[in-house]
Structure 1
Amino acid sequence: MTDGVRQLAPRRLWPLWTVLVVVVLLLGCGLPALLVVGVIRESGSRATISRFGASAADDPATEVARGLSDRMTAQLQRQSTALVGGDRAGYLAVAEAPAHADLRRRFAALRALKVTVWRAEPSGLPVPVEGKPGEWRLLVRFQYCFVAPTCQPSPVLIGTRWRENGDQPLLVALEESKSVETGTRPWEVSDLAVAIGARTIVATTPALRGKLPSLLAQAEAAAKVADGYVVTGSPPDRYRIFYAGPAEWKRWYGGGRPQWTGGYAVTVGGGHHEVVLNADGLPSSGTDDLLRHELTHAASLPERGYPGKATWWLVEGLAEFAGAGGQPIDRYEGLAEVRKLVQSSWDGRLEGITPADDAPAERVGGSYGVGYLAVRHLVDRYGPERLLTFFKAVLHERKTLDVAAEQAFGERWSVLHDECVASVRAAVA
């Protein structure tokens, strides 16, 4: 992942688990000013093209590239307008015929997801493709919204390839985003069947279409819970959920999750998280708490990620608390794993409870259970509002645990930490 920083945080689920992927997007940052050209800007309902960093000293090759960038940008604008307007012929018209099959699939998937915003912003100048005269490659930062036309768009950086064709260069291919950002989006590579509710979007492959009605109902119920864990701003306009079959699980967002993973949430920018569930082996009895858990991540976490492993217990503990759905502690299904961890290798420090990617299943379950019990203690003693104040101070405002504890609870963190640990031990005694 050359353009993002990924943090993994697995979550216990029977018999699988889930992983949280927090991506700090760096798109559009750190580029030399000279290289940012032909950016599409919105002005009311009009799209205009502006150029940055032009220099009177540009050499002829750079001037050629700039001219090509402007013409490619105009083609991208035509394609964007066609996509949002549902004009498939117009969407395909900017591309050569061999690219049409891939573009038709992308068009259908994005339209099924109810794309309402699609903007293309060239990132740098086009460069010649080696060994292919007249062909050029241009990195493009696409920004998109689903369903809600006024959302803060999510960005994705994708390589595009073009062939010179007078004033209207032709698109040769859209590459997958896996080589330049956080991993391939589902709509880039898969046919999608989609169901949309008041608070959620649920998408899967056509082969799993029959799961959509129940998944949507479960997702809508989970969204009502997750909305209660928003710590800053407004709830997401729609929670985005992708239900992956075995092949898609290995491909969407780069795949490569720990073997015990049952689902994950990935930050995609624009204040959005996209949730992926592993259809292979995920029991229906575990879907409700998994969705509550993951959508709580989407509602509560800051876009820029969280401050590392020392706060993992708090991030996952809150999501586990939401996932538990208010059930009594003695009904929490991970108590046996917590007991084994407490009685064996745990040193009694919350900041060191994060499991490794290759940790055995029992160790993963125990780690999540410790986080849950620690958060549960704070909620039981101080109430959910003060717990969310603490969460916001630590995760969003990046305050130390000491400062956050004084602010939210009026207590020293060292004292509260020991109380949380004692509560964990008492629960499994």
Structure 2
Amino acid sequence: MNDGLDEPRPRRLRPLWTVLTVVVLLLLACGLPAVLVAGVLSERGGPAVLRRAGSGADDPATRAGRELADRIAAVLRRQSAALLAGDQAGFLAVAEPAAHADLRRRFAALRALKVTTWRAEVTGLPAEAAGRPGEWRLLVRFQYCFVVPGCQPSPVLAGTRWRDDGGQPRLVAVEESKSVETGTRPWEVSELVVATGARTVVATTPALRAKLPGLLAQAEAAAKVADGYALGAEPPDRYRIFYAGPAEWKRWYGGGRPKWTGGYAVTVGGGHHEVVLNSEGAAAGVDELLRHELTHAASLPDRGYPGTATWWLVEGLAEYAGATGRTVDRYEGLGDVRRLVQSGWNGRLDGLAPADDASAERVAGSYGVGYLAVRHLVDRFGEPRLLDFFRAVVHERVPVDRAAEQVFGEPWPALHDECVAYVRARVA
């Protein structure tokens, strides 16, 4: 399946998923019985607090569960230390032989990504694994950093299975996270080859290894542009980029992207976004696509953006960065904007976001309108004030009307109409 990416002007990104999900769904997806659920993850990713319903502190089953959880935690600490030390034998030693192939691949991928932090935190009590006599299931929160020591780590929740004969618990399997907010990470399921630069880390599959040197050079150049749009305290410590083959595109981070998607950025917590490019759809315009997606990683907050009404601003800024150094009349999407305008566009920026099943031409026109609207605001007020407006609307969730008054000193309805008039004038 070619996902429609050979159509004219395949575009960029579905709205970023946010980490605002009821964890009951996640826990059920990982196979934990509903009776164990008594808490949720905080918006910042704190671990759920799980207790057996109706159990008191002195309940024998609860005490036994806590004792097993403590012993599993000790095993996971030893395994984490082995990973960070590059000790593959130690990493595998805690597990049953049947788990070694999967763990060996995970170990190699994480070491290739230059893992610098790896913590495994038990989140609750073990539960008997349904249909697996003698096995226990436990949700574990893994936290990781790549390349940079001491970064604010990204969390991922995964189910683990264990055997216990009263001695050291033995790891039977680590399940794919399949978390409802982000989906499975590449290092959980794929062999990876990796190249690291001053600002980026780029990973792909062994089959695409030959692409790595060029991708790294392009990513490093794009990072210099994206850093100029960073709205956090500092730019990202490293931009994390995964270049997906056809099978990986359908699997990494849950797959299932709209047919017109050539790349996307997804928030993974800890202030980090991870960027995925589709090798089948990105080849013709990797430089621009990287500038676009890395600008998302630099400019967006950890929790994503407020909704489709601000899509034009989020994507418009990324398109503006992607077109860096290009005059408006050289923007490649002007023809698509013209067709969108002539097809009866209603002139509302807040209704610009394309549907998942939209045609590539409709998608390109929407991105182009966002670009032109942002370009007009930059031309009128300058980049610093445009970024102040973006920060107010996207990071601080200030309503657009109030943000326009605060930042630009003008009413938003008038500015909105100016932007729309500018769009129409450029394609008349």
Query: What TM-score, normalized to structure 2?
Result: 0.90
In the TM superposition, 1:103-118 aligns within 5 A as: 103-118=103-118
Structure-2 residue corresponding to 1:334: 333
Structure-1 residue corresponding to 2:81: 81
Structure-1 residue corresponding to 2:151: 151
Structure-2 residue corresponding to 1:305: 304
Structure-2 residue corresponding to 1:16: 10
Structure-2 residue corresponding to 1:254: 254
**Offset, 1:382:** 0.6
Q: CA 1:398–1:281 in structure 2 vs 1: closer, same or farther (change >3 Å)?
A: closer
**Offset, 1:394:** 0.3
Write the distance in 2 (CA, Å) between the matches of 1:416 and 1:165: 70
Write the distance in 1 (CA, Å) between the matches of 2:342 and 2:21: 46
Q: CA 1:294–1:179 in structure 2 vs 1: closer, same or farther (change >3 Å)?
A: closer
Would you say the 8 A contact 2:265–2:275 is kept in 1? yes
Structure 2 residue 19 is matched with structure 1 residue 25: yes
In the TM superposition, 1:27-426 aligns within 5 A as: 57-179=57-179, 181-284=181-284, 286-426=285-425
Would you say the 8 A contact 2:112–2:193 is kept in 1? yes
Q: How many residues matched?
A: 404
Secondary structure in 2 aligned to 1:302?
A: coil
Write the distance in 1 (CA, Å) between the matches of 2:327 and 2:7: 18
Amino acid at match of 2:415: L
Would you say the 8 A contact 2:14–2:261 is kept in 1? no
Structure-2 residue corresponding to 1:44: none
Would you say the 8 A contact 1:289–1:324 is kept in 2? yes
Q: Percent identity?
A: 72
Write the distance in 1 (CA, Å) between the matches of 2:15 and 2:372: 23
Secondary structure in 2 aligned to 1:319?
A: helix
**Offset, 1:124:** 1.9
Write the distance in 2 (CA, Å) between the matches of 1:12 and 1:58: 63
**Deviations for 1:64-97, whole angstroms, at most 9, x for unmatched residues?**
2111101111111111111111111110011001
**Deviations for 1:98-149, whole angstroms, at most 9, x for unmatched residues?**
1000000000000000000001111221100123222100011100000001
Write the distance in 2 (CA, Å) between the matches of 1:310 and 1:385: 22
**Deviations for 1:127-178, whole angstroms, at most 9, x for unmatched residues?**
0012322210001110000000111100001000000132310000010011
Q: CA 1:101–1:53 in structure 2 vs 1: closer, same or farther (change >3 Å)?
A: closer
Tell me whether 175-184 or 230-239 shows the greater mean CA deviation: 175-184
**Deviations for 1:174-195, whole angstroms, at most 9, x for unmatched residues?**
1001155521100001000000
Q: CA 1:227–1:12 in structure 2 vs 1: closer, same or farther (change >3 Å)?
A: farther
Amino acid at match of 1:216: L
Secondary structure in 1 aligned to 2:345?
A: coil
Structure-2 residue corresponding to 1:3: none
Would you say the 8 A contact 2:16–2:265 is kept in 1? yes
| RMSD of Structure 2 on Structure 1 (CA) | 2.3
Write the distance in 1 (CA, Å) between the matches of 2:80 and 2:344: 55
Secondary structure in 2 aligned to 1:261?
A: coil
Would you say the 8 A contact 1:158–1:176 is kept in 2? yes
Secondary structure in 2 aligned to 1:366?
A: helix
Write the distance in 2 (CA, Å) between the matches of 1:217 and 1:383: 30
Write the distance in 2 (CA, Å) between the matches of 1:349 and 1:375: 14
**Offset, 1:235:** 0.3
Amino acid at match of 1:78: R
Would you say the 8 A contact 2:14–2:258 is kept in 1? no
Would you say the 8 A contact 2:193–2:206 is kept in 1? yes
Write the distance in 2 (CA, Å) between the matches of 1:135 and 1:33: 17
Write the distance in 2 (CA, Å) between the matches of 1:85 and 1:295: 31
Secondary structure in 1 aligned to 2:18?
A: strand
Write the distance in 2 (CA, Å) between the matches of 1:266 and 1:20: 10
Q: CA 1:14–1:149 in structure 2 vs 1: closer, same or farther (change >3 Å)?
A: farther
Write the distance in 1 (CA, Å) between the matches of 2:88 and 2:115: 13
Write the distance in 2 (CA, Å) between the matches of 1:18 and 1:383: 25
Write the distance in 2 (CA, Å) between the matches of 1:384 and 1:14: 30
**Offset, 1:13:** 9.5
Q: CA 1:34–1:181 in structure 2 vs 1: closer, same or farther (change >3 Å)?
A: closer
Write the distance in 2 (CA, Å) between the matches of 1:320 and 1:378: 14
Write the distance in 2 (CA, Å) between the matches of 1:225 and 1:13: 28
Query: What TM-score, normalized to structure 1?
Result: 0.90
**Offset, 1:20:** 4.1
Write the distance in 2 (CA, Å) between the matches of 1:206 and 1:365: 32
**Offset, 1:23:** 3.0
Q: CA 1:28–1:360 in structure 2 vs 1: closer, same or farther (change >3 Å)?
A: closer
Normalized per residue, the structure richer in strand is 1
Write the distance in 2 (CA, Å) between the matches of 1:70 and 1:193: 35
In structure 2, runs of 5+ residues without a counterpart are 28-34, 40-48
**Offset, 1:21:** 4.7
Secondary structure in 1 aligned to 2:208?
A: helix
Structure-2 residue corresponding to 1:41: none
**Offset, 1:197:** 0.1
Q: CA 1:109–1:33 in structure 2 vs 1: closer, same or farther (change >3 Å)?
A: same
Q: CA 1:209–1:21 in structure 2 vs 1: closer, same or farther (change >3 Å)?
A: farther
**Offset, 1:27:** 7.9
Amino acid at match of 2:394: L
Write the distance in 2 (CA, Å) between the matches of 1:391 and 1:151: 26
Q: CA 1:28–1:419 in structure 2 vs 1: closer, same or farther (change >3 Å)?
A: closer
Q: CA 1:193–1:308 in structure 2 vs 1: closer, same or farther (change >3 Å)?
A: same
Would you say the 8 A contact 2:265–2:296 is kept in 1? yes
Secondary structure in 1 aligned to 2:215?
A: helix
